[in-house]
Amino acid sequence: MRKQLNKKVAVFKSRMNRKRALIADTFCLTKRRRCAADSVTGESQADIRSSLQYLVTLFSRKLFNDSLPPVVLKHQLYSLHNDKTSVDKQVNELRETGELLMFQLGFDSEAFALVFAEDFRAKVLQGEAGRGTLGTVEKFLAKLIPSCSDLSFNKEKMLKEFLFTDSEITQLVKSGVLTVRDAGSWWLSIPNSGKFIKYFIKGRKAVLGMVKKSKYGEILQTELEGRRTTSQVKFQMKYHIHDIIGAELVECIQTTSGTLLRYVDGNVN
Amino acid sequence: MLSFLYARQSGLDDPVRLRRAESTRRVLSLELNHNRDVDRIHGNGINTLDIEVIDGRYMLSGGSDGVIVIYDLENNSKKPQYTCKAICTVGRSSRHVHKFSVETVQWYPHDTGMFVSSSFDKTMKVWDTETLKPAEEFQFDGNVYCHHMSPVARKHSLVAVGTKDPKVQLCDLKSGSRIHILQGHRGEILSVRWSPRYDHILATASTDSRVHIWDVRRASGSLFTLDQHNGDKSKTSSEAVNTAHNGRVNGLCFTADGLHLLTTGTDDRMRLWNSATGENTLVNYGKVVNESRKGLKFTVSRGCSPEFVFVPCGSSVAVYGLHSGELITMLRGHYNNVDCCEFHPDYQELYSGGKDCNILAWVPVLRQPDIEDEETNSKRVKHCLYLYRSAGLD
pLDDT-derived band at A35 (thresholds 50, 70, 90) equals very low
pLDDT per position as a tens digit, B90-112: 999 999 999 999 999 999 999 99
Assess A109–B contact: CB distance below 8 Å, yes or no. Answer: yes
- Contact call for residues B190 and B294 (beta carbons, < 8 A): yes
Q: How many CA atoms are closer than 13 Å to the CA of A223, on its beta-carbon side?
A: 13
Question: Where are the strands (E) in A35-75, listed by range?
Answer: 72-73
Residue A13 CB: number of other CB atoms within 10 A?
Answer: 12
Q: Closest Cα of chain B to A250: distance in Å?
A: 11
Give the residue on A whose Cα is nearest the Cα of B368.
A20
Distance CA A203, CA B151 (A): 52
Distance CA A57, CA A72 (A): 10
What is the reported pTM? 0.83
Residue, of B375 and B192, whose pLDDT is higher:
B192
Mean pLDDT of B64-82: 89
Give the residue on A whose Cα is nearest the Cα of B27.
A23
pLDDT > 70 fraction of chain B, expressed in percent and rounded: 92
Assess A23–B contact: CB distance below 8 Å, yes or no. Answer: yes
Of B24, B25, B286, the CB nearest to A248: B286
Segment holding B316, helix H or strand E: strand B316-321
Distance CA B308, CA B323 (A): 9
Of A89, A150, A181, the CB nearest to B237: A181
- Residue A10: is its pLDDT beyond 80? no
Interface touch A181/B21, C-beta < 8 Å: no
pLDDT-derived band at A178 (thresholds 50, 70, 90) equals confident
pLDDT of residue A131: 81
pLDDT-derived band at A14 (thresholds 50, 70, 90) equals low
- Contact call for residues A105 and A113 (beta carbons, < 8 A): yes
pLDDT of residue A25: 56
pLDDT per position as a tens digit, A221-268: 999 988 888 888 888 899 999 999 998 889 888 999 889 999 987 654
Helix A134-147, helix A166-175: angle, nearest 10: 90
- Residue B324: is its pLDDT beyond 50? yes
- Residue B194: is its pLDDT beyond 90? yes
Residue A106 CB: number of other CB atoms within 10 A?
Answer: 16
SS3 B121: coil
Of A27, A85, A181, the CB nearest to B21: A27
Interface touch B325/A266, C-beta < 8 Å: no
Mean model confidence pLDDT for chain B: 88
A19 contact residues in B (CB cutoff 8 A): 28-29, 329
ipTM of the complex: 0.75
pLDDT-derived band at A37 (thresholds 50, 70, 90) equals very low
Length of chain A: 269
Pairing of strands A258-263, B224-225: unpaired
The set of residues, in sequence order, having a beta carbon less than 8 Å from that of B47 and lying 6+ positions away, is B62, B63, B64, B101, B102, B103, B104, B294, B297, B339, B340, B353
Q: Closest Cα of chain A to B216: distance in Å?
A: 34
- Contact call for residues A127 and A67 (beta carbons, < 8 A): yes
Lowest mean pLDDT, pick from A100-109, B53-62, B78-87, B268-277: A100-109
- Contact call for residues B84 and B113 (beta carbons, < 8 A): no
pLDDT-derived band at A32 (thresholds 50, 70, 90) equals very low
- Contact call for residues B100 and B44 (beta carbons, < 8 A): no
Mean pLDDT of B275-286: 90
pLDDT-derived band at B179 (thresholds 50, 70, 90) equals confident
Burial B362-387 (b: 16+ CB within 10 A, else e): bbbeeeeeeeeeeeeeeeeeeeeeee
Interface touch B236/A185, C-beta < 8 Å: no
B284 contact residues in A (CB cutoff 8 A): 84-85, 87-88
- Contact call for residues B234 and A112 (beta carbons, < 8 A): no
Mean model confidence pLDDT for chain A: 80
The set of residues, in sequence order, having a beta carbon less than 8 Å from that of A177 and lying 6+ positions away, is A124, A137, A140, A141, A188, A189, A191
As beta bridge partners, residue B360 has: B352
Segment holding B375, helix H or strand E: helix B371-393
The set of residues, in sequence order, having a beta carbon less than 8 Å from that of B343 and lying 6+ positions away, is B299, B300, B301, B302, B310, B349, B350
Of B24, B235, B324, the CB nearest to A151: B235
- Residue B351: is its pLDDT beyond 50? yes
As beta bridge partners, residue A189 has: none
Mean pLDDT of B120-147: 93
Mean pLDDT of B340-359: 92
Q: Closest Cα of chain A to B116: distance in Å?
A: 36
**What's the gap between Cα B216 and its chain centre?**
23
Helix A237-246, helix A37-58: angle, nearest 10: 130
Cis before residue B345, ω within 30 degrees of 0?
Answer: no
- Residue A11: is its pLDDT beyond 70? no
pLDDT per position as a tens digit, A140-176: 888 887 777 777 777 877 777 778 888 888 888 888 8
pLDDT per position as a tens digit, B297-317: 999 999 888 899 999 998 899
Mean pLDDT of B57-64: 94
Give the residue on B whose Cα is nearest the Cα of A104.
B235
Q: Closest Cα of chain A to B283: distance in Å?
A: 5
Interface touch B25/A23, C-beta < 8 Å: yes
Mean pLDDT of B354-382: 74
